[in-house]
């Protein structure tokens, strides 16, 4: 963990550059050294084809993101990370936001380790060698 999941309406796909956004999100999460294990970071996007925004009479669009993390991080850390991620989203979509109706949103989902099952050997690549005692 963390997992960053974006849902976006298909009417913005051509201009949204979602792969670039996911890369920016991962870089941001990695930059918070020690807060999240690099090998556990996942970001993904789900393009929505069936949706209705507002009264459905316009070609409105939305992007909703969820950051899923395990419990236990201090409130200040969670706020800092979420503020930064939402700022990245706002900047990424700023041109699109300026020329069409677009709703951006993000939520933090925190869960306990109970009921969470994981197996991940990617972490091994990022473990630092411990100095040997002489």
Catalytically annotated residues: 2
Taking the C-alpha atoms of residue 76 and residue 53, their distance in angstroms, rounded to an integer, is 33
Residue count of the chain, please give it: 134
**Which helix (DSSP H) or strand (DSSP E) does residue 46 occupy?**
strand 42-48
DSSP assignment, residue 40? G
User: Which string of b and e fits 39-57 if b means at least 16 CB within 10 Å?
Assistant: ebbbbebeebeeeebeeee
What the block records as the tokens of 20 is 């670039």
Taking the C-alpha atoms of residue 124 and residue 15, their distance in angstroms, rounded to an integer, is 37
């Amino acid at each position: 963990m963390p997992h960053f999941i974006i849902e976006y309406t298909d009417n913005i796909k051509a201009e949204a550059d979602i792969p670039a956004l996911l890369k920016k999100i991962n870089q941001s999460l990695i930059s918070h050294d020690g807060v999240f294990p690099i090998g556990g970071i996942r970001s993904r996007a789900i393009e929505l084809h069936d949706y209705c925004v507002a009264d459905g009479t316009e070609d409105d669009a939305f992007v909703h993101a969820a950051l899923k993390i395990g419990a236990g991080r201090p409130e200040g850390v969670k706020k800092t990370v979420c503020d930064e991620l939402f700022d990245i989203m706002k900047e990424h979509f700023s041109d699109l936001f300026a020329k069409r109706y677009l709703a951006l949103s993000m939520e933090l989902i925190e869960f306990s380790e109970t009921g969470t099952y994981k197996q991940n050997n990617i972490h091994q690549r990022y473990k630092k060698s411990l100095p040997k005692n002489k």
